Structure 1
Amino acid sequence: MIGFRHPMRFPLALSLGVHIAALGGWAMLQNASPDQTAPAGGEPARLSVVAPAQHSALATTTTTDSSVVEPRSPLPELPSEAPAPAQSTPEPEAEPEPEPELTEQPAPTPLEPSAGEGVSGKAEEADWKAELQAHLAQYRRYPRRALLRALEGDVRLALDIDAAGRILDHRLASPSRHDLLNEAVHEMVSRANPVPAPPASALAGGRLRITVPVRFTVNE
C-alpha cells in the first residue's frame, strides 16, 4: 500500500519552527535588564522575525566585495637632483702688450768747455806750473866752482811729462854759456824726477811738454 503525504504538513512544520524560535528569543529578552529590553517612552518591545531567505540576503550584502581595489600608499618622493653649478664664463686672455721698439740713441755730443770751465782749467795749470818750479828749485844745486868764480846764467829747460808726473825726456831749449851751469841743470832733473802730476786739462795724448826757466845768480 502506497503511503500518501499530506501537502500541508511541511508549511505547518516550518511555521511552527519559526514561532518556537520567536518564543525562545522573547524569553531571552525577558531575562535581560529592563534598560536593554524596554525602549524609551515605555512602549512595549516589538520583535521582528526575519525569514531565513531575507537573512541570507542581508548577510550577502554585508560581505566585502573582494573585487574592490584598495587604495595604494603613495610612493616615496625621490630627492630632487641638485642643480648643476653654473659654469663660470672664462675671462678672455689679455693680449700681450707689444714690445717697445728699440731705437738707436744718438751718440752724446761731447760738451765743449764753457767759459767758466776754461778759466778754471787755466787757473789749475798756472797753479801746477808754480808747484813744478818750486819742486825743481828744491833739487837745484849751485856748482861750487861756479859760485867761487861768480858765474851766473839762465837756462831754459824743456820737459816731457806724463799724466803721473814722470819726466819722460828733457833737453836744454836755451842753454847757458857756462858749461858748469848747464851740467847743474841735468843733475837737477835726475834728482827731481818724478814731478807733481799735471792737471788733465793740460795733457795732450796722455802727456805734456813744457818749458821752464832755471836761473843761477850769486846773490840769491
Structure 2
Amino acid sequence: MALWQAKAKGHLNRYKAYPEEAKRKGRTGAPKVRFIVDGQGYVIACELINSSGVRSLDKEAQSVIKRAQPLPKPPEELLFNGQITIEMAIEFSTLTL
C-alpha cells in the first residue's frame, strides 16, 4: 500500500496549487483528507478530516483530490469491494514554493 500511496501523493502534488492569499501571508499547514478511490483511479468521495487551521489550504486539499483525477490505478489486492479508502495529509509549505 505504501508504494501506491506514494505514487498517488506524487500525482496529487503535480496538481496542487498553493492558494495565493495563503502564500502571500506565509501560511503553511497539512490538512488531512480521507478519500475513496475506485479501481480505475476515480475519486468516489472526499472529506476533510483534520483542518490545517487555514481555510484556503483546507479547501485546496479537497479540490486537488478532485482536480487530479484519475489517480494512479490502485493495485487489485488493495481494493475492498472495488475501492480503497485513503487518509492523507496534503502539505503546504513555504519551502516548496
Query: TM-score over 0.5 for the alignment?
Result: yes
1:135 aligned partner: 11
1:150 aligned partner: 26
CA distance in 2, matches of 1:147, 1:183: 14
Question: Which residue of 204, 209, 220 maps to 2:80?
Answer: 204
Which SS does the other structure have where 1:145 is aligned? helix
Question: Which residue of 42, 46, 50 maps to 1:174?
Answer: 50
Which SS does the other structure have where 1:164 is aligned? coil
Give structure 1 stretches of 5+ with no counterpart.
1-124
Which SS does the other structure have where 2:90 is aligned? strand
Using the TM superposition, give the Cα deviation of residue 176 of structure 1 relative to its aligned residue in structure 2, in angstroms: 1.3
Using the TM superposition, give the Cα deviation of residue 189 of structure 1 relative to its aligned residue in structure 2, in angstroms: 1.6
Q: State how 1:47-196 maps to structure 2 within 5 Å.
A: 125-196=1-72
CA distance in 2, matches of 1:145, 1:206: 39
CA distance in 2, matches of 1:190, 1:210: 14
RMSD of aligned Cα (Å): 1.0
Q: Percent identity among equivalent residues? A: 26
Is the contact made by 2:43 and 2:66 (CA closer than 8 Å) also made in structure 1?
no
Deviations 1:104-127 (A, max 9, x none): xxxxxxxxxxxxxxxxxxxxx222
Is the contact made by 2:28 and 2:94 (CA closer than 8 Å) also made in structure 1?
yes
Deviations 1:143-194 (A, max 9, x none): 1111110111111111101111110000011121111111211221221011
1:42 aligned partner: none
Using the TM superposition, give the Cα deviation of residue 212 of structure 1 relative to its aligned residue in structure 2, in angstroms: 1.1
Is the contact made by 2:33 and 2:62 (CA closer than 8 Å) also made in structure 1?
no
Structure with greater strand percent: 2
Query: How many residues end up aligned between the 2 structures?
Result: 96
2:54 corresponds to which letter in structure 1? H
Q: Return the structure number with greater relative CO, CA threshold 8 A, min gap 6.
A: 2
TM-score (norm 2): 0.92
Which SS does the other structure have where 1:198 is aligned? coil
Give structure 2 stretches of 5+ with no counterpart.
none
CA distance in 2, matches of 1:210, 1:189: 11
